[in-house]
């Protein structure tokens, strides 16, 4: 006659199975939590990398130009605040055959509304393919990053050797600093929030390659002519201060 399990033995077996099940569930749950956190981290890092690369590419190709017609219908600017920047650049890639786009345009980065999928705000990129007299208006907007807790910009002033919170180059004849030129570098700080509300800080810098305004050939517009005269006088003053000889332009009679 075969002997079966007693009630106590069955209870012990069930208890052991319950303990093993709980341990297994804990391990599996932890693995899923780790996978979820890893996915969030990968997502945030990818978003930050793409956003910062785009910011670096756009800012590094910023420019100012004095090549205008007599009517002066175009205006290139660089207006930067702590959380907003507007500038003309030469990094556009035309996508329409026989369209009006060139490699130039106006770009703006600024914070928008609250993100739908997480805490923080959207980072908006506005692009206007036509440079006109209203660089701060028009164009199409797109979201380049969500869950932005902080978007902070600083601009390197090579004259005073310091970081500035603002940079305004919108008037070729401005007598105040920084004048009609671009910062040598721009520092970018981006703080993103993942779906679990963890904050991730990213920081980088980008050089600006064309810091001085472009002027090809003889200036046509009245503004460009005045800027060139002022530029020649400033250069002569710097030479004189450094003890270097100052010549006279035979065409204009101005120091050079």
Query: What does the pLDDT look like over 181-191, one tens digit per residue?
Result: 999 999 999 99
Inside any domain, residue 22: no
**249 pLDDT band (50/70/90 cuts)?**
low
Q: Are residues 126 and 172 in the same domain?
A: yes
**248 pLDDT band (50/70/90 cuts)?**
low
Inside any domain, residue 9: no
- The strand pairing partners of 143, in sequence order, are 124
pLDDT, position 95: 77
* pLDDT tens digits along 16-67: 777 787 777 666 666 655 566 666 688 999 999 999 999 999 999 999 999 8
Q: How many domains does the chain have?
A: 2
User: Which has the higher per-residue pLDDT, 85 or 71?
Assistant: 85
Whether residue 247 is predicted with pLDDT greater than 70 in this model: the reply is no
Question: Residues 201, 207, 213, CA angle at the centre, nearest 5°?
Answer: 135
Q: Are residues 196 and 237 in the same domain?
A: no
Domain that holds residue 166: 48-216
Inside any domain, residue 43: no
Whether residue 244 is predicted with pLDDT greater than 60 in this model: the reply is no
Q: DSSP characters for the chain?
A: ------HHHHHHHHHHHHHHHHHHHHHHHHHHHHHHHHHHHHHHHHHHHHHHHHHHHHHHTB--B----TT------EEE-SSEEEEEES-----STT-S--S-EEEEEEEEEE-SSSSSEEEEEEEESS--S-TTS-SEEEEEEEEEEEEEEEEEETTTTEEES-EEE--TT--STT-SS--SEEEEEEEEE-TT--EEEEEEEEE-S--SPB--SS--SHHHHHHHHHHHHHHHHHHHHTT----B-TTT--B-
Q: Are residues 227 and 172 in the same domain?
A: no
Q: Are residues 192 and 141 in the same domain?
A: yes
Q: Are residues 94 and 116 in the same domain?
A: yes
pLDDT, position 19: 79
For residue 178, is the peptide bond before it cis, meaning its omega torsion is within 30 degrees of 0?
yes
* pLDDT tens digits along 78-126: 999 999 999 999 988 887 777 677 889 999 999 998 877 788 999 999 9
Q: Are residues 132 and 233 in the same domain?
A: no
Q: Are residues 185 and 119 in the same domain?
A: yes
* pLDDT tens digits along 134-182: 999 999 999 999 999 999 999 999 989 999 999 999 999 888 889 999 9
Q: Are residues 160 and 251 in the same domain?
A: no
Inside any domain, residue 16: no
pLDDT, position 207: 97
């Amino acid at each position: 006659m075969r002997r079966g399990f007693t009630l106590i033995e069955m209870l012990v077996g069930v208890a052991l199975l319950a303990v093993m099940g709980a341990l297994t569930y804990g391990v599996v749950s932890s693995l899923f939590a780790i996978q979820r956190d890893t996915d969030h981290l990968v997502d945030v890092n990818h978003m930050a990398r793409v956003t910062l690369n785009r910011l670096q590419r756009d800012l590094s190709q910023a420019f100012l130009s004095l090549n205008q017609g007599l009517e002066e219908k175009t205006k290139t600017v660089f207006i930067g605040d702590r959380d907003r920047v507007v500038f003309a650049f030469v990094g556009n890639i035309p996508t329409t055959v026989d369209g009006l786009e060139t490699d130039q345009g106006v770009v703006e980065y600024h914070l928008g509304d609250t993100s739908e999928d997480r805490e923080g705000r959207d980072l908006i990129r506005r692009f206007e393919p036509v440079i006109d007299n209203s660089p701060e208006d028009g164009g199409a907007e797109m979201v380049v990053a969500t869950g932005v807790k902080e978007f902070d910009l600083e601009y390197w002033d090579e004259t005073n050797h310091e970081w500035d919170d603002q940079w305004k180059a919108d008037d070729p004849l401005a007598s105040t600093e920084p004048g009609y030129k671009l910062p040598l570098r721009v520092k970018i700080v981006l703080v993103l929030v993942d779906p679990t509300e963890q904050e991730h800080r990213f920081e980088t810098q980008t050089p600006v390659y064309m810091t001085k305004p472009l002027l090809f050939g003889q200036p046509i517009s009245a503004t460009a002519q005045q800027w060139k005269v002022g530029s020649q006088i400033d250069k002569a003053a710097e030479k004189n201060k450094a003890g270097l000889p100052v010549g006279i332009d035979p065409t204009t009679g101005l120091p050079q």
